[in-house]
Amino acid sequence: MISQTRMIVQDSLDALLEDTAFLPGLEGEARKQAFTSLGAILSTPNHLHKSFLRVALENGSVVRIPAFRVQHNNALGPYKGGIRFHESVNEDEVINLASLMTLKNALHDVPYGGGKGGIVLDPRAYSEKELHLICKKYVQYFSDILGPDKDIPAPDMGSGEREMDWMMAEYKSIRPGQAYKGSFTGKSVINGGSLGRREATGKGVYFTFRYLLHDFLQKQREFLSNSESIFAKTALDYDNSESPLTIAVQGFGNVGSVAALEAYQCQHLQNKVVAVSDRNVTLFNADGLDIPSLIKFTSLHGGDLPTTELELAEANVKAAIQNRSDVLYLDVDVLFLAALEDQIHDTNKGKIKARIIVEGANAPVTSEADEYLSNKGVIVIPDILANAGGVIVSYLEWMQGRETQFYSEEEVYRLLLEKMKNTMDTILPAFFGDPHPLRQNCYIHSVMKLSTVLYRQGKLY
């Protein structure tokens, strides 16, 4: 995991070293030394905090649960990142996720650094009372390093607004009289959370795709037509298509279902969602699926899609029932990946037919598969660009907590999409102007911004 971060940072610095327009005040040996410093700083965390939470269970026994908080870099602002509740959490994973948060915040011009937390447990194995105590213990053990201007956790895999409410309440009790609303984000609305946060990531995921193939293309058609990039050809091929773009969505949770609904309702781009999947099944209809009906069904059935003809009839949805993994290999134009990591990898990359892939989940395409697909002209909109809606709305929640003034849902979405539009307008011209994949362009931009700030802060010597 750590080596992955080092590779990202080093590849980006290698691309920037010979660019004389970048940090022009650094030349010769001083430039080499500064870049060596940047490699060391950006590939390692500032702080690694770990402890064992002592928790008394309802059966009378006491357990010690490993817990982490990694603070990667705060050059741009307070550390920011979720707390993952999962039995596979480990030190390397948390370090890697914290470093990726630093890069994501830098890319989207969010004034945060990167952080990440983790608790090694299966939340389903504990009662609500025990989970409440675990959350309190986490804040107690790490209270000295947390705070609205220090390190601001949020939900992640296995945690949600309930856990953030509990943690904020404990922080408030430990720090009486101090500002506490911004100590955690992803809270319930009644506890100072932001409207629109649940839908934010899915809306942002679809927006990045729509903006690339509609808004940006409309404004920059001449530029793309003159570009020699294979990715420009892919975009223009779809622009010239007379039939609606076909979309498949892997994962139908908070991110995938919202992205699918955005596609279903989109008035700007002709597309149709022909397939969706979850942990049990893929549903396919070449004429397009009734996404609102599927969302209604999942809301009544524990989040699961219909898996039988009887359940399809109950949902009033027409679809063919297929294996859950089939969604990856369908002959569609666009594939949204909103499930788990490592879904497209070295052994199945050759079976992918989609020409545009959007990463709603974290790291669903491995680096080897990304390189293979990019060499074939497949546009992969990476997680660092596509799924930043959560942290952007977390920032809006943090601001609202500080100002004690709250935005309407419409205002939240407007600010979210405006922020993502600014990022796309910065990144896309560079992407279509050179042969690097979009992921590498995003990493280079993030490293460039962080390097400039660290240089100006005098951190390189």
pLDDT of residue 177: 87
The DSSP annotation for 105-132 comes to HHHTT-S--EEEEEEES-GGGS-HHHHH
CB 363 within 8 A of CB 383: yes
Amino acid 293: pLDDT: 97
- Asked if residues 86 and 118 have their Cβ atoms less than 8 Å apart, the reply is yes
Which of these, 254, 275, 263, lies nearest to 317 by C-alpha position? 275
- Catalytic (active-site) positions: 116
Q: What does the DSSP 8-state code read for residue 147?
A: B
- Of 412, 369, 375, the residue nearest 394 (C-alpha): 412
In the chain, how many H helices and how many E strands? Answer: 17, 12
Taking the chain, what is the end-to-end CA distance rounded to the nearest angstrom?
Answer: 27
Residues 6+ apart with CB under 8 A from 152: 78, 79, 80, 112, 115, 146, 182, 183, 184, 185, 394, 398
Q: What is the pLDDT of residue 1?
A: 46
Domains, the chain, with CATH or none: 46-191 (3.40.50.10860), 198-387 (3.40.50.720)
pLDDT of residue 243: 85
Q: Which residues of the chain have pLDDT under 70?
A: 1-3, 240-241
At position 120, the amino acid (one-letter code) is: V
